[in-house]
Structure 1
Amino acid sequence: MKQGIIGSLLAVLFGFCLLPSVANTWTPQDFVRLVKTVEVKGEVAAPGVYEVAWDADVETILAAAGGAGEEADLSGIRLSQIVANESVIVIPKKSEQPKISINSASLEELDTLDGIGPAIAQRIIDYREEHPFSSLEELKNVKGIGDKLYDKIKDSITL
């Protein structure tokens, strides 16, 4: 009986010696993704889906898409940002006209907005001196600016 147990133990030990150890079979690198897939849209030379290095930032991904187009507005894009797998990056087109800041524009600049004359422009300035605008829709609190006028100018203004 003793010989049977000893024989079984020797067989098991011998088997472990012939098999590679589990610790040597897998390394942490086996569990690390090396690439990610990112979709690029908008004002780029070649919009599409790109496979890039796992640690690629927006600037690297833009380069893979052939770079930003001539009309691209990169002012709101963080080029150093590392994006997640299966992300979508949209590069916007530059606005035809610069937007007018309702918090800092002069009376003359506000007067250029469609439907805004000198009187309403002055009311905007008076309002923001007491209550700086925290949202564009707050502009409707100014006397003379209703929903229709706001809808007409909302794409031309910024905070």
Structure 2
Amino acid sequence: MPMYRKSLLILLLIVAAVAGGTYYGCYTQDKETIQLDAAAGSSGTQQDLPEVTVYVTGAVNKPGVVTVRDGARTMDAVNACGGLLPTADSGQINMAQVLKDGQQVRIPEKKGESAAANKQTAGQSSAKNAAAAAVVNINTASAEELDTLPGIGPAMAKRIIEYRETEGSFAAPEDLKKVRGIGEAKFRKLKDKICI
């Protein structure tokens, strides 16, 4: 009889261990399945979110058409375009505005930063733009052409023309220093941009 009890006790221990192991295995497998379902559900909801497509132009690093999640803000679209340029005037745009599908977002540049804006606001003629890029002949240049030179404003351009009319043409670029208001320092800035 004692042998029978020992065998029965060992058998019960083995059955309990097998049952415990089976229960543990099923429990962890169910837990992993629940975690995988939750992960698939959360990624599925992210993929199923509606999207909006907007066109971002102006002072951003990579202007173009971008797609962002529905409910995204202007800031999200700007970041999708590589962020703002240093010349961007971010104070002129509402970065917290909710975007709508098909919307155009234009990021303006600071006044005076854009060459196109400079041309429009200053009302420069094409002759003045060409003169700014080329060397200016101080004997034949108009007041507008002289005004394109560094340090020469409308008043100084008028003085140069008056000097030219009263004293005659300049014989050398250095003769420009004879005009009242043009000293050595100002002439150094001009000497590579002028000719006779």
Question: Normalising by structure 1, what TM-score?
Answer: 0.37
Question: Normalising by structure 2, what TM-score?
Answer: 0.32
Asked which structure has the greater CA Rg, the reply is 2
Higher RCO (Cα < 8 Å, 6 or more apart): 1
